[in-house]
Amino acid sequence: MRAAVHAATLAELVDRGYAALSVENVAQRAGVHKTTVYRRWKDRESLLTDALAEHMAMDIPVPDTGAIETDLAALARSIVQTFTSPTGQAILAAMFTGAAHLPEIAAARRQVFDDRLARAEPVVTRAIQRGELPGDTDPAELLKTLAAPIYLRLLITADPVDETTADQAVLVALTAARGGALRTDHGARGQGRKGPVIS
């Protein structure tokens, strides 16, 4: 039932957007009674947050191609694919416009990003072990450098986001890492306390 309700939530989001999202519509689409949905999720906000977290967690397999160039290209292209599909565009719109004012959604944005980052870190540590990157490369900083230009385009500039965007992000991140700009002594301070953030 949970999977069906999640799928129905995302489908409603794609077809109608966050403003029109309702527990009633989701229940109908999932073919269950709305009281069944309410038993598990108290409102449309928790339905949305839960469906998004589930979807984003499943979405990206962590590549292990044996070379950092192809691993990072796979990661960057999967970010691009995630957010340029119809479902991804609907999720992005919900997370950053329609439902952006909900504190749960701000927390979900951070959570999804942190989870993905943590799961992808082995890509960098394996590359360090293979001698493809300097030994003191900061995995989290490298992965944030990879993701940052893609999110900038998605969220602010409206430049096209495609495979070329992904490959360019790989080139920048690898060049910076190999040039010693992404060492742990720089990046470590980002791991400490959480600073003020919009919410």
Kindly list the residues in this chain that would bind a copy of itself in the complex (CB under 8 A). 19, 84, 89, 92-93, 96-98, 100-101, 106, 109-110, 113-114, 141, 144-145, 147-149, 151-162, 164-165, 168, 171-172, 174-176, 178-182, 186-187, 189-190, 192-199
Residue with Cβ nearer a copy of itself (28 or 168): 168
Closest separation in Å from C-beta 114 to a copy of itself: 7
Residue with Cβ nearer a copy of itself (74 or 95): 95
Residue with Cβ nearer a copy of itself (28 or 115): 115
For the chain, state the CA radius of gyration: 19
Closest separation in Å from C-beta 131 to a copy of itself: 19
Closest separation in Å from C-beta 39 to a copy of itself: 30
- Least Cα distance to 158 among 111, 110, 92 occurs for 92
Residue with Cβ nearer a copy of itself (139 or 187): 187
Closest separation in Å from C-beta 176 to a copy of itself: 5
Cα separation, 74 vs 70, in Å, equals 6
> DSSP states of 53-113 as a string?
HHHHHHH-PPP--SSHHHHHHHHHHHHHHHHHSHHHHHHHHIIIIITTT-HHHHHHHHHHH
Residue with Cβ nearer a copy of itself (30 or 166): 166
Closest separation in Å from C-beta 34 to a copy of itself: 26
- Least Cα distance to 62 among 2, 104, 144, 119 occurs for 119
Do 80 and 167 meet the contact criterion of CB atoms below 8 Å apart? no
The phi, psi pair for 181, rounded to 5°, reads -90, -5
Residues in the chain: 199
- Least Cα distance to 175 among 78, 72, 74 occurs for 72
Closest separation in Å from C-beta 15 to a copy of itself: 16
Residue with Cβ nearer a copy of itself (19 or 58): 19
